[in-house]
Chains A and B, each alone.
With several copies, the nearest count.
Chain A
């Protein structure tokens, strides 16, 4: 029987195995070698590979991003980690103007093999500046790749592929996935970038989801199954390049589309996916597509407001019922209300 790991352990193992195989791989980020090791994802690495390959850094996100880019230009394969996407906003110029364009603007002379891990914070009052989910931004920029794993299996396989990729890859991890458990082979293996996955087969509608919202989609599908509705769920996994053929095939089959994303609704991931479906499969749509995403407001800190801010399974269910013209009814998600501002009892704050 196969070994099980938690998501954070899978990230750690992918980094560990990649560093063991290739001396060019090194990792850097605020707190990477500290006792908490980025929620366990970098624990033990410095003991194993030394402080040259597992580095802490000054609180200089912009400069240090330029530094890892420069090192990548001369043959290194850096993995940079930011504890929140919000902090990485300081380094946008280096990511977008330099890393994303280097290969193209110099006619392919060099490329920037770089993985930038960014965490999405949620819950326990992370609030307006520790919770942003800006994957749509990075996916808008040519030259970047954008990856959002959900399962421990994919976390390991996709991170390994990202580290081996010769381009800048924005690898986005959701804090609420860190403790989920799943089968993860000991061996070194790859999950290809650019491939979405049908994680639950269904016939009545298609739910395309990103990151943590895949779990909410699953919960919704369970509830819907109770009323005989069979939702097909697609885990996007890679936002750029986007695997729209899989999405189109599914929608052509079900005729109905819901996009569940961890980011803001307007100008977000849902818009792109709906647009591609409208462009390519308009005739197959039996009903208007719907986005389940964050309302267009900053993240409130109060737990009471976050319950209204973050959409969950019951919201997806409500959307589906309306889409299918079913009567409104009170839906219970079966998950303790505490999960409104924490993912589960294992999460006690403060971060």
Chain B
């Protein structure tokens, strides 16, 4: 990867981090009146995968989709306005944080029922193939989603039809407060499930941008060359509470120590150190980036705040096309 690209990817990761933290700061104001699932700590997966996709490619996601939406190039102003329930939101305020969309960026949609966008992404891939388009479709989901039968139905069909779709599993070890131990067999590697279907399945450190990019690049190439689907499992960690702006290690479902060990492996810091070490940029550059992002965020907040709420007439609009 060129220094220029690396800088750009770092910028994207930093931007997602700063946006999510700003949302966490503002959430207590109770103006964003919808559930939010922050992706702080998991930015590398979103950025690394989307860095290998073109704007024409499609992405779907689930409840924790802010990072995926932003990494794919989704309009940030429209996203924030959506969280504020405003008419200028990407879904006119009808969806909120759990229902983001930006067609112009190829982010076709995120919905929060666990696993349910997986077959929809596979279907989008089928559609592009039937239409003779050369797009790749990627779908992001958490490790709990592989517990849903629909995941298996989806990957079986994707392999059967050799569809250009990439399954990206962000394994952060928890489904809300439930550890993997109460949900999946011990020592059963998730990426190996995929192999059982005849789909190439790989696993890597989701906090290492380079590892993510490496696997994503070959998966995209495979899809483009008609090689069919790929399953990628990235181990990572959610820093904040499952849903909402706070930290929740005090609840006792995971240890503070475990959290700290993952915090030390912060994907943003990790990349920053590397780039500085490689002399690709210096701390001053990153400060410039922060300022630029800060400004963008302030503008988006102002936009979201001053935007109007959807008027009453919109309630019964767009029920049918």
- Residues of chain B within 8 A of A206, CB atoms compared: none
- Residues of chain A within 8 A of B130, CB atoms compared: 26, 52-53, 71, 76
B113 CB to closest chain A CB, in angstroms? Answer: 5
Given A31-B177, A62-B150, do A57 and B157 touch, yes or no (CB 8 Å)? yes
Q: Does A298 contact B (CB under 8 A)?
A: yes
- CB of A348 within 8 A of CB of B30, answer yes
Bound CA span A119–B23, Å: 28
Bound CA span A87–B30, Å: 26
Bound CA span A72–B320, Å: 15
Q: Does A35 contact B (CB under 8 A)?
A: yes
Is chain A's interface secondary structure helix, strand, loop, or mixed overall? loop
Q: Does A344 contact B (CB under 8 A)?
A: no
A59 CB to closest chain B CB, in angstroms? Answer: 4
Bound CA span A56–B181, Å: 10
Bound CA span A305–B82, Å: 13
Residues 101 to 118 of chain A near chain B (Cβ within 8 Å): 102-111, 113
Q: Does B271 contact A (CB under 8 A)?
A: no
Chain A residue nearest to B108 (CB atoms) is A73
Bound CA span A305–B118, Å: 29
- CB of A129 within 8 A of CB of B178, answer no
- Residues of chain B within 8 A of A56, CB atoms compared: 178, 182-183
- Residues of chain B within 8 A of A288, CB atoms compared: none
Q: Does B214 contact A (CB under 8 A)?
A: no
- Residues of chain B within 8 A of A351, CB atoms compared: 35, 243
Contact pattern, B 69-97, Cβ under 8 Å of A = 1, otherwise 0 = 00000000000000001100111111111
Query: Which listed segment binds B: A120-128, A147-155, A328-336?
Result: A120-128
Bound CA span A41–B169, Å: 31
Chain B residue nearest to A143 (CB atoms) is B319
- CB-contact partner of A300 in B93, B98, B122, under 8 A: B93
Given A105-B95, A349-B33, do A58 and B315 touch, yes or no (CB 8 Å)? no
B252 CB to closest chain A CB, in angstroms? Answer: 6
Query: Which listed segment binds A: B6-14, B226-234, B306-314?
Result: B306-314
- CB of A67 within 8 A of CB of B157, answer yes
Contact pattern, B 3-39, Cβ under 8 Å of A = 1, otherwise 0 = 0000000000000000000000001001001111000
Query: Which listed segment binds B: A92-100, A243-251, A269-277?
Result: A92-100
Q: Does A180 contact B (CB under 8 A)?
A: no
Given A301-B94, A302-B309, A305-B310, do A105 and B111 touch, yes or no (CB 8 Å)? yes
The count of residues in chain B whose C-beta lies closer than 8 Å to any C-beta of chain A is 80
- Residues of chain B within 8 A of A110, CB atoms compared: 101, 103, 108-109
Residues 134 to 162 of chain B near chain A (Cβ within 8 Å): 144-145, 147-150, 152-154, 156-157, 160
Residues 132 to 174 of chain A near chain B (Cβ within 8 Å): 142-143, 145, 166-167
- CB of B131 within 8 A of CB of A302, answer no
Q: List 14 A-B contacts (CB under 8 A).
A: A56-B182, A57-B182, A58-B182, A59-B145, A59-B147, A66-B123, A72-B123, A73-B127, A110-B109, A124-B34, A143-B319, A143-B320, A295-B316, A305-B315
Contacts from A to B (Cβ < 8 Å):
24, 26, 30-31, 33-36, 52-53, 55-76, 86-87, 90, 93-94, 97-98, 102-111, 113, 124-130, 142-143, 145, 166-167, 295-298, 300-305, 308-309, 341, 348-351
Q: Which 8 A-B pairs have the closest CB atoms?
A: A70-B123, A66-B119, A125-B34, A63-B153, A107-B92, A111-B321, A302-B85, A302-B93
